[in-house]
Structure formats: structure tokens, C-alpha cells
Chain A
Amino acid sequence: MSTFHSKSAKSFLKDEKYSSWHDKTFWSVRQKRDAMAEKLDEWEQLREKASRIKLHTLSHLDKYLEEFSGNAEKNGVKVHWAADAAEFNEIVFGILSSHGVKKLVKSKSMLTEECEMNPYLEARGIEVVETDLGERIIQLKGQKPSHIVMPAIHLNHDDVGELFERKGISDQPGNHDPSYLTYMARLSLRGEFLSADAGMTGANFGIAATGDIVVCTNEGNADMSTSLPKLQISAIGLEKIIPDYASLAVFQRMLCRAGTGQPSTTYTSHFRKARCEDGEMHIILVDNGRSDWLADPAHREILKCIRCGSCMNTCPVYRRSGGYSYSYFIPGPIGINLGMLRSARQHSGNLSACTLCRSCETVCPVKIGLAEQIYSWRQSLSGLGTFNRSKKLMSDAMSLVFNHQGLYDAATGAESVMNIVPRDWMPFGLRFPRKPFHKLVKEDDK
């Protein structure tokens, strides 16, 4: 009766101190988010507006994609279209190799994680340097992100301090002071920026009306990545296109408030064209399954996601199981859903990680029915042959009992109820035979 997630979560919870810290850390992000939401009287209207803008854009995506790419081309940007991860990686490598690039600096992009771009490029002799501090830490450690907004949140300053000593980034052994470590990372990254041949960014938004790529960071690393090298590549998923600046204003007010509990990211950078006359800017629009999801009415609204991470922070199961307890690289409620869309067979072991408490849907700034979608995925599990056998047996038994009055009377009578309700659920006081209500009420009426 165990799933990929339940097994991993069980071992995560063995370290009680660490798991409590994990829960409290993310709960405090949720509280910061609440404080921000409470300061905006129009918060709930903004959520509704944001959801509608996304639904509108997604249902006219062909038009907005053409408008976006047309405007980007007018700005002198070279626009590429990648049908899947393989094509995306080939396009990136094609651009880099034709410019003789040896080192690529990049800001955080979950899309490049999704396409597993870094190992692809590294296998072809290109050094890839992550410049978001969290991403850099896990890159040096050889790990995957455990959260989409705070990718290295699972590590503490001692972990980072020891890592920096090993990698020669810090020069004072034993000094694990966060300010010192950040300063040393900054020095080390400065050298990478200066020696890179190309810079890459992801995208929080693509503006159809102007062809802008909009990137939100707290560290300014997207600007460093694109301001020094002359070659810039930006990768963007098809669903990240929004109509215009008026719609950007709605999302810009929500993204960071929902994600980290700050009123805004420190930097909101718009990239529209190559930074100098002999420079180049490329935009790669990536499908990789998105148009299929758009065609699926049961799950298309997942494409509204702006990747703020607030569903993870609020999820009581994510907070108590950590990012690595999910088989897909994006964890939490949105990750359960994205994993199922990516490969239901491979990632159905995450579906158990939900009590259907619906806190995720209530937090979500674009109102995605995340729990509703998980409920609906569960219904399709028996067709996939990956459902849990003992869970099915239990459900079959309940169905049989509830549909036959004689069986129901027998099952609810005296001790036999102990046989249908798992013992762990029952407090001690309940483990005694008692007369069910439907019999008591009969006696009462006499």
C-alpha cells in the first residue's frame, strides 16, 4: 500500500528535527505571503483577473504567439520554435557552437531543467554556469532543485559552507556566515560573468504586444548574464505569453507576493533586443507537450501556472515530505499535476501526496483547481494499471458493503466494524463494540 511518495516521505520524516524545520520554514513563507495578500484589498479580484487573462490568452494562444514572435523579429531578435526537449537542446547547441561558445552563464530556468539542457551541453564540451545563488549551490553539489523558487532551501549554511570550501570558493575554512558565503559566491560568479561567451535566461512572461521577455530575479543575475556577453538566448514555454503591459501589471503584483511574500522582486528585467550592434538575441519558444495539454479539456488549466511556488509552501504534505519525495523534478501540488501530464505511468506514485484539503487552490494566484485535477487523475489510475491493489480491494469491499443493506447491518453491528476500519485510525476509546445509530434511532422511535 505504499507509493513512491509515501516511501520517500516516510524516510524524510525519520529526521524529526530537520522535518520540523522544513515545515516551519515553508509555513513562514506562507505567512509572509498572507501578510502581503492582506495588504491588498483587491487581492481576490486580482486572482480572478489573473486567472481570466491566462484563460483568455490560452484560448487565443495561436494569435498571441504570432504577435509575440512577429514583434520580437521586428526588434531584430531571432525566434526559434522547439517542438520538444530534444529539439530545444539541439537549437541551443546549434546557436552556441556556431558562435564558438565555451562557457554559458545562465539565470534560473525551470524550462531548461525540464529539457535537461545542462547535461546535454556539458556532454558536448560547453561549460554551463548557473548564476542564481540557489541554483549555483545545487549545481556545485550535483543535485536537483527541491523547490522551484527556492531551489536550495533544503540545505543550511553549514552545508553550503563546506561545499564552498571543497570547491575553493571560500577562503576561510569554518566560516559559514551566510553574508560571508554570499559575498564569496558573488566574487566567484563575477569571474564567470566576465569570462562567459554567452548568457541565457528563462522567462517569467513574454509580452505579445512588444516582444519583450520579462525576467524577475532578486539577485540581478539575469541582468549580469545578459549585460556582459554579446550573445543572449532566452528560453520560454509557450504558455508564458501574455497579451500586453496591462496584463503584466496584474501578474507583477501577484507573482512575488504569492511566491516569497515580497511586494516585488528586486529586479524585473525586460529584454527586447540584442544589447549592442554586433550582439545577437535569440528567443526559443518551447512546446514540449504544452499544445497537447492545451487540447486536453480536463487538464488545460494547469497551463495558467506562473510558477510562483505558493502551492508548495502551503501544502501540508509538501512541507512534511520535501521536494525530493516526489518523482518529478517539480514537487508539490503543481508538480504532481505536471508530472502526470509529462508521463502518467512514470509519475503516478506522487498522486497519493494529497489529502484534498484544497489549500493549494485557495492560495493559487491564478486559481488553478490543483486538488480537483489530482482527484481527476486518481480516477484515471485504474485504467493505467498503476493503481494500488490493496486500496482497490478496500474500495471494492466498501462498495459491496454500502450497496447491500444486509451486509451493511452486519458490518456496522458490534465487533465487525473493527474489521472494516483500519486499526491505526481508531483511538483506543473507539475500539469497543457499540450499537450503530440506525439501530439506536429505531429503538428511540418505538
Chain B
Amino acid sequence: MKVGLFIPCYVDALFPEVGMASLKLLRHLGVEVVYPQGQTCCGQPMANGGFEKQATHLARKFEDKFGNFDYVVAPSVSCTAFVRHNYPSLIKDCKVADKALDIVEFLHDVLKVKGPLGRFPHRVSIHNSCHGVRELGLSSPSEQNIPKFNKIRDLLQLVEGIDVVEPERPDECCGFGGLFAMEEKAVSQRMGCDKISRHAATGAEYVTGPDSSCLMQLSASAERLGLDIKCKHVVEILASGL
């Protein structure tokens, strides 16, 4: 099984530790993982803002980089969802769309990790990112009447010493939304503050989630409100102490 690691642009530039933790975790689990150099962005920010055509080029480039792997794994739900759901309409004969998995899905559904992972003796509140919930199915959407599940929670519970909680309104949007945060700054900031307050109300020391863009929004909101709560990507917690 050959796994290509996709580290989206903003993770590369702003959250390199999330990339390193992904690599560490996958290697720890015995996965043959390769990081192809020369990858940049999947094209989602432009497309969501209304400039899908600018994503086509990047989609082709992505297909070239990752087309020959068995799986393409990324620590980012919204980039993964974009590749999976939008690439088939952007480029012909797209192979990567079906191979693209968020790292939570890969660990939970493909590797079916059951063994002990790292150690993280803290109370942690799960941030269920919209695209993880409603595009990739990482957890049961609160809107739907289907059996309840949460793949992030399943994985976190393999971490020693952890106390996992979820906030009130467990999958309401944090208000980031890429270019939304620029165009609708007032609403975006309000949503971020509301969301981080609900996380803080659980008494958690950390918020964790499958997407660093939501976590960036939440950290900025915590600072704005002066809340003492930190954000860590779920892979950082799973890999902690390994």
C-alpha cells in the first residue's frame, strides 16, 4: 500500500507541525508514506470564492503528483472534500478523487486503528468541522436522524489519559469559510467567538479538530475574547508522546 501525503498550502506554511505529526503518526503505524515535493494547493479557496476555473490547473497538477498512489491522505477535511467531490467535474478521467482520504478516515476506516496511540492527559473538546461532518461523514450530522457516531472521538479515545468532550451545538460552523472570513468579516468573527465560547464552556483545555483552518479561526477568536484555551489538530494529539 503506497500512501501519498498531501499537505495543503496553509498547513505547509502556517502549521508545519501538523504535517510533521501526520508523518510521524503514519510511520509509527507502519505505513509506507511518501511526501511528493512540489505540491501546493488543491484550488479550493479560489473555487469557493467563485473562481473555480483557477482551480482546474491545480487539479491537473494534483492528479499528476498523486495519481499513482493507492491512497492520498491529508490532515485537512475541507481540502480532501474538495478533491473528492469537485475534481471529477474539473478534470477528465480523474483518478485521485476516489483515493483522497482525510487522515481521520484513513486511520479509522482503512487502517482500522485499535491499538494505543499517544498520551495526552487533558480535557479536549472536539471541533466537528463542517466539511468533515457533512461532506466526508466523519460524524453523524446533528441535523439527521441516523445512528450517532463520531470517528474523531473513536480515535481520540485511543489516547492515554484524555478526557474527550463536545460543545453545545456540536457541529455548528466556526465561521471561517475561506474568503467568507474576508467578505463577511463581522459575521465571521461573531461566529468564531460564539463557537470558541461554547468550546470553553466545556471546561476543556484544548480544542481539537480535523482542519487547521477552523482551528486558526478558533485560536484567533480565543485571543479576541481572552480565553485560555488552545487549539491542536487531531493528529498532533494522536501522535503526542509517540
Task: Write the residues of chain A forming the contact surface with B, with a CB cutoff of 8 angstroms.
Answer: 1-3, 5-6, 9-10, 13, 19, 23, 27, 34, 37-38, 40-41, 43-44, 314, 316-317, 320-321, 351-359, 361-363, 375, 378-379, 381-382, 387-388, 391-392, 394-396, 398-399, 401-403, 405, 408, 411-412, 417, 421-422, 424-430, 434-438, 440-442, 444
Contact = CB atoms under 8 A, between A and B. Distances in A.
Contacts of B189: 424
B173 A357 contact: yes
A6 B41 contact: no
Given A424-B181, A425-B181, A430-B14, 18 more contacts: A3-B183, A43-B145, A355-B130, A355-B173, A355-B176, A375-B48, A378-B49, A387-B50, A395-B51, A399-B46, A403-B57, A412-B12, A422-B182, A425-B220, A427-B220, A437-B20, A438-B37, A442-B37
Contact of B48 (A317, A378, A408, A435): A378
A6 B14 contact: no
Contacts of A361: 134
A378 B50 contact: yes
A1 B182 contact: yes
Nearest to B143: A362
Given A44-B144, A437-B7, A398 B183 contact: no
A194 B190 CA distance: 49
B40 A402 contact: yes
Contact of A395 (B13, B54, B173, B184): B54
Given A359-B173, A426-B216, A427-B220, A392 B14 contact: no
Contact of B182 (A44, A379, A391): A391
B226 to A, nearest CB: 12
Chain B contact-residue range equals: 35 or more
Nearest to A9: B187
B135 interface: yes
B77 interface: no
Nearest to B134: A358
B35 interface: yes
A402 B41 CA distance: 6
Contacts of A424: 181, 185, 189, 220
A398 B45 contact: yes
Contacts, number: 210
Contacts of A401: 40
A333 to B, nearest CB: 13
Interface of B: 7, 9-16, 18-20, 23, 35, 37-41, 43, 45-54, 57-58, 61, 130-131, 134-135, 141-146, 169, 171-173, 175-177, 179-191, 194, 216-217, 219-220, 222-223
Contact of A27 (B19, B45, B169, B220): B169
Nearest to B186: A10
Nearest to B142: A34
B187 A13 contact: yes
A352 B183 CA distance: 7
A437 B173 contact: no
A421 B216 CA distance: 12
A250 B145 CA distance: 17
Nearest to B215: A427
B186 to A, nearest CB: 4
B23 A441 contact: yes
Given A13-B190, A382-B50, A427 B219 contact: yes
A9 B9 CA distance: 31
A381 B50 CA distance: 7
A367 B216 CA distance: 31
A417 B13 CA distance: 7
Contacts of B135: 358
A317 B37 contact: no
A250 B49 CA distance: 37
Nearest to A404: B40
Nearest to B145: A43
B194 A23 contact: yes
Given A427-B219, A430-B216, A391 B175 contact: no
Contacts of B37: 438, 442
A317 B52 CA distance: 23
B130 A357 contact: yes
- Ranked nearest first, the 8 interchain pairs of A and B with the lowest CB-CB distance are A355-B177, A378-B50, A437-B19, A427-B219, A357-B173, A10-B186, A357-B130, A437-B16
B145 to A, nearest CB: 4
10 contacts: A10-B187, A355-B191, A359-B134, A378-B50, A381-B50, A391-B49, A408-B9, A424-B181, A427-B222, A441-B19
B57 A362 contact: no
